[in-house]
Amino acid sequence: MRYLIILILIINGFASTIFLDEVKKVENKFYNIDIKIDDKNLTNILNEKYDSFNILLKTIKNKPYSLKKDNNFRLNTKARLKEKIRINKNYGYHLAVLRDEINLANITLNDNMYKYFSYISNNWTFFDKDKLNELNKIYLNELTKVRYDKFLISYNKIKSVNGDIENQVKENFIDLYKSYNFFSEIIQYINNNKAILSYKSLTSFLKLNKIIETINSNTIFITINTYFRFIHLDMGRLILFILTIIVFFYINYFLYKIIFTYLKRTLEKNHNEIDDNILDNLNKIRRPVSFITIVIGLKLAFEILIYPNILNEQLLNLFYFILMTLITYIIFIAIDIFLFSYLVQIEKRNKVIKKEIIKVMITITKITIFIVVFLLFLVKINIDISAILTSLGIGGLAVALAAQATLSNFFGLIKMIFDDSFSQGDWIETKDIEGHVIDISLISTTIRTFDNALITIPNSTLANSSIKNWSKRKVGRRIKMHIGVTYSSSMENLQNAIKQIEQMLREHKDISTKNKINYNLINKNYKKEQKFVSINDKYGIKSNLLVYLDQLSDSSMDILVYTFTKTTNWQEWLEIKQDVIFQIWKILEDNHLELAFPSQSIYMENNKKNTLTNF
């Protein structure tokens, strides 16, 4: 119980200073009758004054117990002044009457000021625009009852006169001048900024105040509340506080256990790519959703506990920061789910899309969301973001110089995207590196080499390098070989074998020839585009087929076989190449041709005859 009382006292935030003392500080600072405001400093002074108004209004909203006043003393003072005025009028002491009338007007004005702020402090959570307009109208009407213009004329007449009574008149009028102008200006300020006194809370939205009042109307609780008044608490708020904690505990349990378990089972039934991805991300957002429920529950519980006052501003900002962080994280997860689902649908339609462009757009979107959320939080805690944006403009050059390498890498990425030199998953080769592109980020590109090493290259370096992209080919991976046959081969058999090899390649289902290429699958507008650029060269389409007796080597007559497979996949290419080799081997055997192997011929000469020996 002791710790609960300490917590309540901290949340209520009792003030150590009297509110009206703060009002006097504002009056003395901004309402000095002898100070003339320079036009150059007018804007700064007004901004500072309005900031002071905001602080005063926050004080009476957050710390209503700081409004204190000794009413008995002020009532006695007003009675004595009225008696003095009556007596001085009878004796014809007009200056003394003026002195006391100004003093009485000032006391009355301060009483009205106290009543105004006290009413706002106790009732602002119930205000609407009409009620606030009505309140301001009443007190502006009270201001018109102060004979301010008459007192000002009298003050100007005796301003340069020195005397005991005259000096008292001037002192009293200066106090009246400060209070009168302050009170009239702050009422006008509240009239023009009604949102300052708009109460937005879950307690008000859910109409829980009626439940609190119903509980407190119970006879037993009325008695108990007489003891709770010392800590500014009552049974209605305490019971609703405990019930709110319990209710949100079960809401959190329902979301965390039952709902997520049901969704998990539903997604596990399908076992497709999209559902598996959603399931993985569902586990990621499970805990943040639970935290959001807890934060909302705690905020509502504390609002109920100190109702009709509002939570401490620092505590509100903490709740606001936690909620914004968690919601932003969930939005990021939702973006990833949408991106993955979109890419899966694109692949199902056999459409080609540059994944790195989408990834860059998603990264930029996330950064933009983060910046917007960060700026919203700064606005929430009353930080002037215009000054921050101005300072960024001034320091832009310094930032650009400091981030020169980063910007260079970013523009390198832009260059690679517009050049379309490679995409994620492509097999590329530069002067120093060869491998598959794993990831293209804002700053660097990662490549997995064929010996399974992972290399990270700055985008600026890669953008300025000569890149050989082996994946930028739609149809055709080259098969080039020389088939050597022995010199003892028959010319007729050799010619037949060359024709049969060429015929076999043209009829082979996996060898690329012009009549096997469907250009419509590659580009629907190929006929129109063909007039401006070679479709074959642009998209990497090869259908060359060459089979010729190419050269006479030292040990063999070499047949050149030069053709392209329809596939560009390495493993499929190896399988096709192997099949082609076996078929060529069979054709050679059918034509009684032998595959040559390296050999040397040595001629031995003697007196009788020449002997030729082969090795």
pLDDT in tens, 345-387: 665 555 555 666 777 777 788 888 888 888 888 877 767 666 6
Query: Does 122 reside within a domain?
Result: yes
Taking only the tens place, the pLDDT of each residue in 583-611 is 999 999 999 898 887 766 666 666 555 55
Write the burial class of residue 108 (CB in 10 Å: 0-12 exposed, 13-18 middle, 19+ buried).
middle
378 and 247 share one domain:
yes
98 and 194 share one domain:
yes
Count: domains in the chain: 4
**How far is the C-alpha of 407 from the C-alpha of 424, rounded, in Å?**
21
62 and 146 share one domain:
yes
Q: pLDDT band at 13, cuts 50/70/90?
A: very low
438 and 561 share one domain:
no
What DSSP letter does each residue of 170-229 carry, written as one string?
HHHHHHHHHHHHHHHHHHHHHHH-GGGG----HHHHTTHHHHHHHHHTSHHHHHHHHHHG
pLDDT at 417 over 90: no
Reduced to 3 states (helix: H, G, I; strand: E, B; else coil), residue 559 is strand
Q: Tokens in use for 251?
A: 């809401």
Q: pLDDT band at 10, cuts 50/70/90?
A: very low
Q: What is the mean pLDDT of the chain?
A: 77
Taking only the tens place, the pLDDT of each residue in 128-158 is 778 888 888 999 888 888 888 888 888 888 8
Q: Region 428-450: what's the mean pLDDT?
A: 84
Residue 302 in contact with residue 11, Cβ under 8 Å?
yes
122 and 231 share one domain:
no
pLDDT at 2 over 60: no
359 and 214 share one domain:
yes
Strands 454-458 and 444-449: antiparallel
Q: Look at 162 and 221; give whichever has higher pLDDT.
A: 162
Q: pLDDT band at 70, cuts 50/70/90?
A: very low
400 and 440 share one domain:
no
Strands 444-449 and 546-552: unpaired
435 and 490 share one domain:
no
Query: Does 602 reside within a domain?
Result: no
503 and 539 share one domain:
yes
End-to-end CA distance of the chain: 109
pLDDT at 207 over 80: no
pLDDT at 528 over 60: no
Q: What is this structure's pTM?
A: 0.51
Q: Which of 3-7, 147-151, 301-305, 441-445 has the highest mean pLDDT?
A: 147-151
The pLDDT value recorded for residue 9 is 40
pLDDT at 613 over 60: no
Look at 73-82, 239-248, 429-438, 524-533 and tell me which has the smallest mean pLDDT: 524-533
pLDDT at 548 over 90: yes
165 and 227 share one domain:
no
Look at 111-115, 296-300, 528-532 and tell me which has the smallest mean pLDDT: 528-532
Give the end of a domain, one of 177, 198, 219: 198
Look at 3-17, 158-172, 550-564, 573-587 and tell me which has the smallest mean pLDDT: 3-17
The domain in which residue 438 lies consists of 409-469
Query: Does 286 reside within a domain?
Result: yes
